[in-house]
Amino acid sequence: MDALDIMTDLDNAIPFFQPIFSADEHRAIAYEILGRYRTPNGLISLGPFFQDTEIPEEYRLEVDLAILEKAFEQAVHLDGDILFFINRDADLLMYDHEQKLLQLILSFQERGVRPDQVVLEVSERNYDGKFEDLDHLLRYYRTYGIKVAIDKIGNDSSHLDRISQLEPDILKVSLQLLRSTAIGPAYQDVLFSLSLLARKIGAALLFENIETAFQLRFAWKNGGRYYQGHYLMEPAANFVDSHILKEKLKNECHEFILSEKKKLETLFALSEEFNTRIHELLAKHKKLTDYSQLLQTLAIETDDMAFRMYICDEDGFQKSPNVFKSSQNWIIQPEYIEKNWSWRPYFLENIIKMRKERKGILSDRYNDIETGETIRTFCLPVNSRHFLFIDLSSTYLYDREGLF
């Protein structure tokens, strides 16, 4: 596709619209504006045209503005709460010294498309300019009510250190790599960490490239407020009824809720089961005051589920050796005595919780630093000052529904 062919034939450069659906209302609340080019052989995407850095910036900017103007012409009749996502590479945004994009947006304000309906979807991974200049420009756009979304998160997370500086309204996370349950849990954990980041910086989370029901469920479970992808609706030349998927999304969400509630009930039941079992074992062996002997005894009786156990005080200092299962045999690791674990996430919070409620806690799933295996930890009070930690093996978790 020759760039000059497009430049001399802007009548055939047209907008397409891909709906974005909300988790809370189950309706289309936004559209991403995309570019298409009509050829004798059919429509082709203008994505490669806009991403080709060898094409002069003024060409790409002119085509982009022509498409946006046509898009806004079609959008003037829509409800005033609909948002419009505009893709813009950071370098191209900085090149627009005359602020033609802003002028175009403001020119439609009186006709029904307000600046606060516009979301500037910025891709800044390969931006070569001064980051402070980009930050200042985005803050200037915000003074008009324009929102900012950071794009292309999830495929490449090397630029996460700059996200909080930009203070985006929306983080747009790609689920392209998460096409099936075959993807490793570590990658899913990385995506989950993005949901925590969004919450911390006060940004909404938009999951894109949703192509399967599994991806939609992942987006729902991990705090996605907005959903986009071919599984929901492909880009089209026209806008759709905003409630077109309301029943579909409502029903799928209901299935997600039922499944998640069942899983949580299973986890609570298993936690109670662990509480009962370990309390009975501690009562049975209460005469064993030496922690090393106590742990060796407990290890034998929990051989079916545990691979490591130890005892800490309320400040996180380890008061026992590790008892560790190696090649089906339990070994003593005295070098762990007096190591401190208070730096671990939620450690002190869980200690206080256990002391107040006098019952154990089953952790979430995580990868063990030393073994690399996916595990959970069950911990409970031994007495008012000391707490028992039992690491559950990945084999045991895998065999128990809802644990792995």
Q: What is the pLDDT of residues 308-367, one digit of tens each?
A: 999 999 999 999 999 999 988 999 999 999 999 999 988 999 999 999 998 999 998 888
How confident is the model at residue 154, as a pLDDT?
52
Please give the structure tokens belonging to residue 52: 């080709």
Cα-Cα-Cα-Cα torsion 286, 292, 296, 298, nearest 10 degrees, comes to 40
Q: For residue 317, give the DSSP letter.
A: B
Task: Give the chain's domains with CATH numbers.
Answer: 3-240 (3.20.20.450), 260-399 (3.30.450.20)
How confident is the model at residue 160, as a pLDDT?
67
How confident is the model at residue 196, as a pLDDT?
83
Average pLDDT score, the chain: 91
- Cα angle 17, 168, 66 (rounded to 5 degrees) comes to 35
Structure confidence by residue, pLDDT tens digits, 44-93: 999 999 989 899 999 999 999 999 999 999 999 999 999 999 999 888 99
Question: With contact defined as beta carbons under 8 Å apart, do 366 and 192 qualify?
Answer: no
| pLDDT bucket at 303, cuts 50 / 70 / 90 | very high
Q: Report the percent of the chain where pLDDT is more than 90.
A: 70
Listed in sequence order, the DSSP H helices in 86-230 are 90-95, 100-107, 131-142, 163-166, 185-201, 213-221
Structure confidence by residue, pLDDT tens digits, 158-213: 466 677 778 899 999 999 888 755 566 667 777 778 888 888 889 999 999 999 99
Beta bridge partners, 147, equal 119
How confident is the model at residue 11, as a pLDDT?
96
Check whether 157 has a pLDDT greater than 60: no
Question: With contact defined as beta carbons under 8 Å apart, do 94 and 129 qualify?
Answer: yes
Cβ contacts of 284 within 8 Å, gap of 6 or more: none
Instruction: Spell out the SS3 assignment of 146-177.
Output: CEEEEEEECCCCCCHHHHHHHCCCEEEEECCC
Please give the structure tokens belonging to residue 281: 């074992």
Check whether 117 has a pLDDT greater than 80: yes
How much is the pTM? 0.86
